[in-house]
Amino acid sequence: MSTSVRNVEPKTLWNHFADLNAVPRPSKKEERVIQFMVDFGASLGLPTVVDGVGNVIIKKPASPGMEDRQTIVMQSHLDMVHQKNADTDFNFDTQGIDMIVEGDWIKARGTTLGADNGIGVASIMTVLSSTDIAHPPVEALFTIDEETGMTGAMGLVGGLLDATIMLNLDTEDDDELTIGCAGGIDVTATGTFIQEDTPAGMQGFTLSVKGLTGGHSGMDIHKGRGNANKLMNRILYQAANQFGLRIAAIDGGSLRNAIPRESFATVALPNDRVDDFKKFMAEQAGILKTEYGTTDSDMQVLCEATDAPAHLTSADFQSKLLRSVYACPNGIYRMSPDIEDLVQTSNNVARILVKDGSYSLQCLTRSSVDTEKMDMATSIKSAFELLGADVSFSGDYPGWTPKPGADIVKVMNDLYSEMFEGKANVNACHAGLECGILGTNYPDMEMISFGPNIRGAHSPDEKVQISSVQKYWKFLLETLKRIPLQKPA
């Protein structure tokens, strides 16, 4: 890890971030980072507890003179998305993130950085460890497994927190104050298929669609970026119809909440169609690079001859699979009719795995309207049921209904205008923030989310802007000073 990160201002925040990034913290494997936070709280002599699902809560009394202010929750999640470039040799389970400074940005070498949501965690750690920051009574809430199910937020029971205001530090534009978000649900289709021996006279190929931009399947879904799973399916569908291509295996995408950057397929086709197929693949590479030249300039569409695979999917299954994936919606389904430029409902065809007689197709459907979310999920379910798949829903979480009249919204909106040029963008987002879930057990708590500029979250291109962190940090410190007085009982 580059020591230069530790010399960036504000140094205490960046040093806490560096310490955090030295701890492997994949979703659903947070044991080490939970212990890291427990040890941190204990080192400060602050009351620290771990709840029944693994969330860590650390409480700190108000700084002198701030005892009459409302108690606040400062909240961020401990886990991070683990994505790396195919040519990067890195083990997320054992290695800390290798960070580098490039001009005004901090990024990682070939992997995700963990600024989502590590900057928020480090900010809270800085407040907790400080002796000179003015702040009201603070309850620090570090949740687990936000990225793959929000099970930490879902498992937080009522009564553990006394705060009346929550500052969620998990958004990615420093001019935004987020006061609402989308809910989501996972749609997973699984099943088995009959394998057939590969006939004689077939040539094998490995097909690759890679180098796409990818990104966050909520925050970046409106940017029109290519989905490697859908693009691979498009190629396979056409090649099956034109050249008798047969599929042996498909492996595309990775995480449910990341726009797929790569997809690979093992296929075979008759020897007498090989030359025409190679021309077709070259044509498809040109077509797709033209269509996605603006959003995915590094896209590669490759075709490499290999030995013919021993087994293929049955022709009937292949036909149904390709049509089902083609029929499955991807990207924006509906824009909000009420909030300008807000994606209301979308779907991400996140993961396709077809191998050794079984298959799994995974989607993440998002919407700020729960009824529309379930309608779209049912539409996807129906498409995959036509394939004969067993389709399940899981990880259902609610959206967060905006309350633009909340006191904390007014305080922070006015403060932003006072401190910086222009007005804050008070909005709702299409990402799945934890506020909606946490609010189910704390319905009277006012909530707001903000953060510094983070780009490329959920992809190896993730980076965070140094000057933006400095701006955000000043804004946070001033916000802590202006938390409203306690309300009469």
Q: What is the pLDDT of residues 233-276, one digit of tens each?
A: 999 999 999 999 999 999 999 888 899 999 999 999 999 999 99
- The tokens for 356 are 């050794």
Count of C-beta atoms within a 10 Å radius of residue 446? 22
162 is catalytic: no
Query: Confidence class of residue 149 from pLDDT cuts 50, 70 and 90?
Result: confident
- Residues 30, 79, 173, 174: which is the catalytic one? 79
Say which CATH architecture domain 185-397 belongs to: 2-Layer Sandwich (3.30)
Angle, helices 370-385 vs 315-327, to 10°: value is: 160
Which secondary-structure segment (H or E) carries 186? strand 183-192
Stretch 177-205: mean pLDDT: 96
pLDDT in tens, 333-353: 999 998 888 899 999 999 999
Which secondary-structure segment (H or E) carries 165? strand 165-168
Q: Which residues have CB under 8 Å from 131's CB, separation 6+? A: none
Nearest one of 344, 347, 314 to 217, comparing CA atoms:
347
* Percentage of the chain lying above the pLDDT 70 cut: 100
Say which CATH architecture domain 3-182+399-481 belongs to: 3-Layer(aba) Sandwich (3.40)
Mark residue 331 as left, alpha or beta (left: phi above 0; alpha: psi -120 to 50; beta: remaining): left
146 is catalytic: yes
Q: How far apart are CA 359 and CA 116, in angstroms?
A: 31
Q: Which residues have CB under 8 Å from 108's CB, separation 6+? A: 97, 98, 99, 100, 114, 460, 462
pLDDT in tens, 139-148: 999 999 999 8
Domain ranges in the chain are 3-182+399-481, 185-397
DSSP state of 459: S
Residue type, 336: S
Query: Confidence class of residue 438 from pLDDT cuts 50, 70 and 90?
Result: very high
Higher pLDDT, 207 or 459: 207
Enter the pTM of the model.
Answer: 0.74
Query: Confidence class of residue 1 from pLDDT cuts 50, 70 and 90?
Result: very low
- Residues 30, 139, 145, 146: which is the catalytic one? 146
Checking if the pLDDT of 2 tops 70, the result is: no
**Residue 113's Cα: distance from chain center in Å?**
12
CB 426 within 8 A of CB 409: yes
Stretch 13-21: mean pLDDT: 98
What is the pLDDT at residue 148? Answer: 85
- Whether the domain at 3-182+399-481 and the domain at 185-397 fall into the same CATH topology: no
What is the pLDDT at residue 338? Answer: 82
Mean pLDDT of the chain: 95
Which stretch of 164-168, 226-230, 270-274, 428-432 has the lowest confidence by average pLDDT? 428-432
Q: How far apart are CA 192 and CA 195, in angstroms?
A: 9
CB 451 within 8 A of CB 457: no
What is the pLDDT at residue 176? Answer: 96
Residue type, 50: V
Checking if the pLDDT of 489 tops 90, the result is: no
